[in-house]
Amino acid sequence: MDSFAPTKEDKFSFGLWTVGNPGRDPFGDAVREPMDPCYIVQKLAEIGAWGVNLHDNDLVPFGASASERDRIVGDFRKAVDASGMVVPMATTNLFTHPVFKDGAFTANDPKVRAFALRKTMDAMDLGTELGASTFVFWGGREGAEADACRDPRDAVKRFRDAINFLCEYVRDQGHNLRFALEPKPNEPRGDIYFPTIGHMLHFITTLDHPDMVGVNPEVAHDTMAGLSFSQGVAQAMEAGKLYHIDLNAQKIGRYDQDLRFGSEDLKQAFLLVRLLEGTTGRPCYDGPRHFDAHAYRTEDEAGVWDFAAGCMRTYNILCERAKAFDADGEVQDLLKDQESWEIDPLLQSYSRDNASKIRGLDLDPAALSRRGLGYERLDQIMIEYILGVRG
């Protein structure tokens, strides 16, 4: 029995657009044939995935008639049920059609914004019909190149109005949907509004129904901006706002590569899995482990399934590595090695008593400065776990 083989309990999901990616890029045409969504579901189930996610137009072509839509959705529903899969998340494509060239919810033309709202309401009905409980918003076109085209404050307000409108729509319909907002710094726009996890977390606090809304961070997006993804995700978890996650890999400073999970920056991938799986003993993330990535353009269909299996296998290997690392006695000793834990409670809240106790402490900055912290040793042990030579 392969202990790294994915099971349903791992909650691994893929978007139809990920394994279905035909390998088109700005410089070259598709290299793979389109795959039927029903076939994708069946193949994902075979390789051990748990869920499949979709944009409205990954399944129902833009402009399809109502009867065509119902037939396609009915067939897909049957394929999902027959393969024992679930549809945990749905979203709207608000970026491919030229109508969204100036954005969707933030576009200057109110007719474009109305069209975006209508398309999203339809996509929410579709997601609900398929059983989704998370609805993702990736505002890929919500941005600008010619920044004078709108006051960014209007973009923020329009985006807020749209999310508030859609929260009310969901409540009015009785849909069981939570929203997950996905930040990205740039691409396809020169600059995208709400570029980081932190921008989104604050924006959520300004909504009418903040409890309905969290974030969907993506490895590639924070890494493009040179940020630490695990730190951003940790802040979202600490705020109780990690509603969904997009796992992939990325080199700093490049275009959005959406590579196989763990194929770049293994150390960040290790720290991320350690955080999500709570191997230090802290609560773990319990939502879908979703891969928003695609196979290299060099691959045929066999390479696509190698890619998908690789994402899940690497995640499980890193999880095993993180558990072993956190169970290592030397690691635990290094992490506990602070001399004065007993004063920690004094620092957690203000009272006159705490303030005066802090004033009375014997604090010797020179002695504190001289103390080595052992982080070189700690990091080397972590590297040896990642490299598989320890534990």
Stretch that binds Mn ion, among 164-172, 188-196, 240-248, 361-369 (CB under 5 A): 240-248
Pick out residues in 167-206 that bind ligand GLT (CB under 6 A): 182
User: What's the min distance (Å) between Cβ of 136 and ligand GLT?
Assistant: 5
Interface with ligand GLT includes 56 (CB under 6 A)? no
- 58 is an active site residue: yes
Sign (positive/negative) of CA torsion 28, 33, 36, 42? negative
Residue 363's closest CA among 340, 335, 336, 334? 340
Question: Are the C-beta atoms of 261 and 233 separated by less than 8 Å?
Answer: no
Residue 264's closest CA among 275, 274, 253? 253
Interface with ligand GLT includes 87 (CB under 6 A)? no
- Binder to ligand GLT among 83, 91, 128, 223 (CB under 6 A)? 91
User: What's the min distance (Å) between Cβ of 220 and ligand GLT?
Assistant: 7
Q: 25: burial class by Cβ within 10 Å (0-12, 13-18, 19+)?
A: exposed
The Cα 88–Cα 49 span in angstroms is 12
- 55 is an active site residue: yes
User: What's the min distance (Å) between Cβ of 182 and ligand GLT?
Assistant: 5
Stretch that binds Mn ion, among 46-54, 106-114, 119-127, 213-221 (CB under 5 A): 213-221
Query: How remote is the C-alpha of 88 from its chain's centroid?
Result: 13
148: Cα within 13 Å, side-chain hemisphere: 0
Give whole-number Cα distances, 120 to 41, 76, 264, in Å.
23, 20, 34
Q: Which is nearer to ligand GLT, 6 or 183 (CB)?
A: 183
- Binder to Mn ion among 220, 259, 273, 312 (CB under 5 A)? 220
Binding footprint of Mn ion on the chain (CB under 5 A): 218, 220, 246, 256, 258, 292
Binding footprint of ligand GLT on the chain (CB under 6 A): 17, 55, 91, 136, 138, 182, 218, 246, 256, 292
By annotation, the residues acting in catalysis are 55, 58
